[in-house]
């Protein structure tokens, strides 16, 4: 980029911001200070100066800018200030689309998704005001629209988990397109523009995507029935079955405990023995198909059965719990926490943890409240912590 263009682009950016603020005074930049005129002040040779002045004169002749020069100089060429007098003409001169034009095109691309995903309206509002969303301006509207299409299509048919790259080919003809859209998928699923803190695998799982097939792992006493009529007795340790195949369960368990992480699930299955408790591995963020199976399982239990969840004490852990709580309520139960409050953890764990940032803490408390765990939200305010589930020895709630 030549020096004159750099100066004019800086002027255009300032003029657009001034318009957004409703300022009546035309925007201008000083050509005598290093803040705005670094490129100009670094020019040393006569050809460099002549090229710069020629670029400025051309924009001036087109009526885009007004130029103040040092008339006391013999050649009258030294620039003191340039002012934008016609922002549209200046943008046209530079071959740059104005923010209003780019935001308007983004609105046209995303219009079909503003009702389905209200958060899209927030993005359009931010772009009209010159603010970025997830680090991107309105030129990212196409990616956001593609992500909205993917989420809508996947949630519309959530009977089974789907393989990430195969679905990417089906939806876009590109095996890596869905993965590239992950930040936008995260926002659409969570309904917030701040990053969720979830790992990408958990973001994909929230809309039914997996890198590879993920079975439903259960540990408990009793038997299950699959969609083809097959009946399987639950072994002492655990059993894995296709998520979409589970139809019903017969068990003497009066307590169901879902567990976020695989290592903790195996530890809990090991210590369970013959206790009348049913353990389920969520696979991180439970997918829509997993939650459907979870709901079918819960409806097979007596009304007085207890339902609990054990996950990471962090932003992602409480988001997972909030999603499980939705299904639990639909099945007529209340989801209870297990080892997810600062007040329920041993001192040996608490003395090693690090407090979250204020932003992360606010998000953790918000998701705990959405889960229905107001007491945990208040406990986190008193004692802010984040704890990985694997750092806690597996113990089970009383059946």
Let me know if residue 379 belongs to a domain: yes
> Looking at residue 21, what DSSP letter applies?
T
Q: Same structural domain for residues 55 and 142?
A: no
Q: What is the number of domains present in the chain?
A: 3
Let me know if residue 270 belongs to a domain: yes
Q: Same structural domain for residues 247 and 172?
A: no
Let me know if residue 324 belongs to a domain: yes
How many residues comprise the chain?
399
Domain extent at residue 249? 216-391
Let me know if residue 396 belongs to a domain: no
Reported as a single tens digit per residue, the pLDDT across 57-111 is 999 999 999 999 887 765 567 888 999 998 989 989 999 888 889 999 999 999 9
Q: Compute the distance between CA of residue 217 and CA of residue 259 in angstroms, rounded to an integer.
A: 10
Let me know if residue 399 belongs to a domain: no
Q: Same structural domain for residues 144 and 168?
A: yes
Residue that is last in its domain, among 77, 94, 111 = 94
Let me know if residue 128 belongs to a domain: yes
* Structure-token match 């169901």, residue found: 256
Max CA pair span of the chain? 99
Residue that is last in its domain, among 94, 125, 142 = 94
Q: Compute the distance between CA of residue 49 and CA of residue 77 in angstroms, rounded to an integer.
A: 9
Q: Compute the distance between CA of residue 264 and CA of residue 246 in angstroms, rounded to an integer.
A: 23
Residue 310 is predicted with a pLDDT of: 98
Strand, helix or coil for residue 57? helix
CATH number at residue 288: 3.40.1360.10
Q: Same structural domain for residues 168 and 259?
A: no
- Concatenated DSSP letters of 345-394: S-HHHHTT-BPPPHHHHHHHHHHHHHHT-HHHHHHHHHS--BB-GGGS--
Residue 38 is predicted with a pLDDT of: 85
Q: Same structural domain for residues 193 and 223?
A: no
Q: Is the pTM of this model over 0.85?
A: no
Q: Same structural domain for residues 66 and 160?
A: no
Residue that is last in its domain, among 94, 118, 150 = 94
Residue 44 is predicted with a pLDDT of: 84
Q: Same structural domain for residues 74 and 105?
A: no
Residues of the chain with pLDDT under 70: 1, 73-76, 399
Q: Same structural domain for residues 48 and 143?
A: no
Q: Same structural domain for residues 273 and 335?
A: yes
Residue 399 is predicted with a pLDDT of: 54
Q: Same structural domain for residues 156 and 257?
A: no
Crossing angle of the two packed helices 315-330 and 358-371, in degrees rounded to 10: 10
Reported as a single tens digit per residue, the pLDDT across 144-162 is 999 999 999 999 988 889 9
Let me know if residue 397 belongs to a domain: no
* Structure-token match 């206790």, residue found: 275
Strand, helix or coil for residue 325? helix
Residue 76 is predicted with a pLDDT of: 60
Q: Same structural domain for residues 71 and 129?
A: no
Let me know if residue 162 belongs to a domain: yes
Nearest to 220 by CA among 268, 261, 291, 262: 268
The residues pairing with 82 across neighbouring beta strands, listed in sequence order, are 29, 67
Q: Same structural domain for residues 200 and 109?
A: yes
Strand, helix or coil for residue 337? strand
Torsion of CA 55, 60, 62, 65, to 10 degrees: 110
* Beta-carbon count within 10 A of 382 CB: 8
Contacts of 206 (CB under 8 A, 6+ apart): 189, 198, 285, 287, 288, 323
Contacts of 358 (CB under 8 A, 6+ apart): none
């Amino acid at each position: 980029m030549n020096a004159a263009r750099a100066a004019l682009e800086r002027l255009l950016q300032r003029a657009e911001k001034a318009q957004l603020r409703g300022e009546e005074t035309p925007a201008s930049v000083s050509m005598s200070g290093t803040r705005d005129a670094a490129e100009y002040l670094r020019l040393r040779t006569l050809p460099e100066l002549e090229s710069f002045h020629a670029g400025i004169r051309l924009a001036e002749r087109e009526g885009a800018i007004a130029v103040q020069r040092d008339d006391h100089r013999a050649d009258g060429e030294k620039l003191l200030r340039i002012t934008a007098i016609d922002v549209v003409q200046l943008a046209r001169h530079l071959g740059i689309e104005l923010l209003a034009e780019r935001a308007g095109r983004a609105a046209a691309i995303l219009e079909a998704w503003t009702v389905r995903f209200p958060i899209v309206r927030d993005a359009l509002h931010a772009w009209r005001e010159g603010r970025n969303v997830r680090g991107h301006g309105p030129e990212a509207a196409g990616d956001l629209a593609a992500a909205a299409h993917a989420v809508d299509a996947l949630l519309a048919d959530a009977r089974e988990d789907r393989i990430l790259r195969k679905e990417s080919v089906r939806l876009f003809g590109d095996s890596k397109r869905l993965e590239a859209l992950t930040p936008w998928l995260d926002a659409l699923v969570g309904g917030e523009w701040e990053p969720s803190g979830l790992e990408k695998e958990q973001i994909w799982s929230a809309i039914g995507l997996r890198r590879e097939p993920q079975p439903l792992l259960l540990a408990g006493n009793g038997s299950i029935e699959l969609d083809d009529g097959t009946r399987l007795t639950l072994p002492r340790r655990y059993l894995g079955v296709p998520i979409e195949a589970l139809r019903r369960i017969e068990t003497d368990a009066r307590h169901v405990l879902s567990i976020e992480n695989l290592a903790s699930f195996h530890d809990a299955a090991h210590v369970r023995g013959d206790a009348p408790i049913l353990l389920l591995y969520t696979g991180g963020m439970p997918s829509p198909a997993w939650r459907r199976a979870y709901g079918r399982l819960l409806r097979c239990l007596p009304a007085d059965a207890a339902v609990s969840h054990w996950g990471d004490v962090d932003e992602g852990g409480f988001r997972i719990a909030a999603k499980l709580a939705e299904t639990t309520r639909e099945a007529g139960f209340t989801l209870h926490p297990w080892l997810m409050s600062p007040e329920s953890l041993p001192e040996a764990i608490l003395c090693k943890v690090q407090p979250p940032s204020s932003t992360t803490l606010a998000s953790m408390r918000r998701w705990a409240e959405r889960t229905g765990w107001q007491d945990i939200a208040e406990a986190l305010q008193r004692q802010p912590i984040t704890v990985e589930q694997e750092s806690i020895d597996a113990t089970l709630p009383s059946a």
